[in-house]
Structure 1
Amino acid sequence: MIVVTGATGGLGGATVEHLLKRVPADRIGVSVRDAAKARHFAERGVRVRQGSYEDPAALRDSFAGAEQVLLVSGNDPAADMVGLHRRAIEAAVAAGVRRVLYTSQQGAVPGNPYRPSDIHIATEAILGDSGVGWTALRNGAYGPLGQVLGPWQRTGVIAQPEDGPVPYTDRADIAEATAVVLAGDRSFDGPVTLTAPAALTFDDFTEIASDLTGRTIERVVLDDEQWVADQITTGVPEQVARLMLTWYQAARAGCFAEADPLLADLLGREPRTAADRLAAHIAA
């Protein structure tokens, strides 16, 4: 059996949908905070059990009988995510799981300024010491491009801090590839990187957006502190703004610069490009 945590979230839910195309429903289980929200999976034959990283006993029950577990990483900046991930890994080990797959992040290596990297590095270390097989899926940035680029369609300007090349990746492709790994015969030990085929900068996006819209879109580089102040003015908490600033700092340091061909290999096709996604965003 394959058990997926966070199956009512975007990535976890999409992964389950792709698994249902590859393996019988009775070989799939989900561990969710609110079982009622996973009723649509239960109605299709998926085993649904309540579990959360805060409740190790419930997790062990959720993981019972599983050969593989997908741990979807938490992202609550106020929580001890490393401690919660440790509990989940320990629950998987106690339940007799043979392999744990973990949704990590591209560039999860020491020295990356992006603060969540420390969570992924620590969690990967816990997996390495767990005594079970493990795979860390170091996913490329898959957030909505509208969120990344700001209100450029209204302003005609991509006004963000200094950046660097990033292989912006489609979450749907990540979910499909994750299902391929879970359902397939190939084993991946340790960290693997899943990204779109090319790394782009905001300068690249201005060219793409200009071509797609027929308008002249400009790139304006904002001072870091001015950007933080602007974010606070729009209602973003300062702590959140400064956390996001570390992502730009990591990008400009080249921490996300390398694209990897594995995603295309797993999908058996070219992943969706950032230009494809931007075109869809414009059309929406």
Structure 2
Amino acid sequence: MIIVTGATGALNGVTVDRLLDELPPSDIGVSVRKPEHAQQLADRGVRVRQGSYNDPAALRHSFADAEQVLLVSSSDVTADVNAQHRTAIDAAVEAGAQRILYTSSHGTGFNTPYPPLAINAAAEQHLAESGVAWTALRNGFYGDLSQLLGPWQATGTIAKPADGPFSWVDRRDAGEAAARILTSDEPFDGPVDLTPPTSVTLADFAEQASELSGRHVERIVVDDEKWVVGEIAAGVPEAAARFTLAMFQATRSGHFAQPGLTLSRLLGREPRSIADQLAAEQFVKTR
């Protein structure tokens, strides 16, 4: 049985959908904090059990009978996420999982300006010490384009701190790739970079946004501290603004610049481009 955590989210929810295309529902289980949110999966025959990274006993129960467990990285900003990841990994080991997969990120390492990269490095280190086979899905960047780019449709500008090349992926592609790995005969041991074959910059987004909208969208580089001040004035907590700034700083130092071919190979096609993603975002906003 394959057990997936975070199955009601945008990333691993896609993974479960793709697994259901390939496997009988009885071979799939999900571990979720709120089982009522996964009722649609239960209705399809997927085993749904309650599990929380803060509750080892519940996790062990939700991971029972698993050959493989896919762990989503914690997004709980109020928690000790390193401890949560250790708890989840240990629970999967204790439940008898033969392989543990973890949604890590491209550029992971301890000596980086962007805090999540060190958190993922710690999780990967614990996986390596777990004694079972493991795979770290080092996904390229994904997320809400409006957060990355700002309100470009209204302003005609992408006004952000200086950036460097980074690998931006569509969650749907990352989720599908995870399903391919889970059902593959290939072991995919250790870290696996899941990035598009080309890196992009915010200038590339501005160019594609211009073509999509039919009007010029300008990329404006804002001084780091001026940007932080502006974010605070807009109501963003300073800690959150500096957290995001660290991401831009990491792109400038080349932490996310390495493209790859594994994602394309797993998908059997080219990953969705930033033009595809911008068009999808525009469609959602105009519906």
Task: Output the TM-score relative to the length of structure 1.
Answer: 0.97
Match of 1:132 in 2: 132
Match of 2:189 in 1: 189
Secondary structure, in 3 states, of the residue corresponding to 1:31?
strand
Match of 1:226 in 2: 226
Match of 2:6 in 1: 6
Asked if structure 1 preserves the Cα contact closer than 8 Å seen for 2:111 and 2:118, the reply is: no
Q: Give the Å deviation of 1:229.
A: 1.3
Secondary structure, in 3 states, of the residue corresponding to 2:22?
coil
Query: Paired residues, what number?
Result: 284
Whole-angstrom CA distance in 1 between matches of 2:95 and 2:283: 47
Answering whether residue 149 of structure 2 is matched by residue 149 of structure 1, we say yes
Map 1:23-38; keep pairs closer than 5 Å. 23-38=23-38
Q: Give the Å deviation of 1:179.
A: 0.6
Which amino acid in the other structure matches residue 245 of structure 1? L
Which amino acid in the other structure matches residue 244 of structure 1? T
Asked if structure 2 preserves the Cα contact closer than 8 Å seen for 1:152 and 1:158, the reply is: yes
Whole-angstrom CA distance in 1 between matches of 2:184 and 2:274: 27
Match of 1:198 in 2: 198
Answering whether residue 73 of structure 2 is matched by residue 108 of structure 1, we say no
Which amino acid in the other structure matches residue 238 of structure 1? E
Q: Give the Å deviation of 1:144.
A: 2.1
Percent of residue pairs bearing the same amino acid type: 57
Match of 1:177 in 2: 177
Match of 1:70 in 2: 70
Match of 1:56 in 2: 56
| RMSD (CA atoms) | 1.1
Match of 2:80 in 1: 80
Q: Give the Å deviation of 1:213.
A: 2.1
Q: Give the Å deviation of 1:270.
A: 0.7
Match of 2:91 in 1: 91
Secondary structure, in 3 states, of the residue corresponding to 2:137?
strand
Whole-angstrom CA distance in 1 between matches of 2:236 and 2:258: 30
Match of 2:235 in 1: 235
Q: Give the Å deviation of 1:280.
A: 2.5
Which amino acid in the other structure matches residue 130 of structure 2? S
Whole-angstrom CA distance in 1 between matches of 2:137 and 2:216: 38
Answering whether residue 58 of structure 2 is matched by residue 42 of structure 1, we say no
Superimposed CA distance per residue, residues 222-252 of structure 1 (whole angstroms, 9 cap, x where no aligned partner): 1111111111122211111111110000011
Match of 1:210 in 2: 210
Q: Give the Å deviation of 1:262.
A: 0.5
Asked if structure 2 preserves the Cα contact closer than 8 Å seen for 1:168 and 1:199, the reply is: yes
Whole-angstrom CA distance in 1 between matches of 2:172 and 2:194: 12
Asked if structure 2 preserves the Cα contact closer than 8 Å seen for 1:197 and 1:273, the reply is: no
Which amino acid in the other structure matches residue 186 of structure 1? E
Q: Give the Å deviation of 1:38.
A: 0.9
Superimposed CA distance per residue, residues 192-215 of structure 1 (whole angstroms, 9 cap, x where no aligned partner): 011122111112222222222221
Whole-angstrom CA distance in 2 between matches of 1:130 and 1:259: 29
Whole-angstrom CA distance in 1 between matches of 2:105 and 2:187: 19
Task: Output the TM-score relative to the length of structure 2.
Answer: 0.96
Match of 2:275 in 1: 275
Which residues of structure 2 form unaligned runs of 5+? none
Which amino acid in the other structure matches residue 14 of structure 2? A
Greater CA drift, 17-26 or 138-147: 138-147
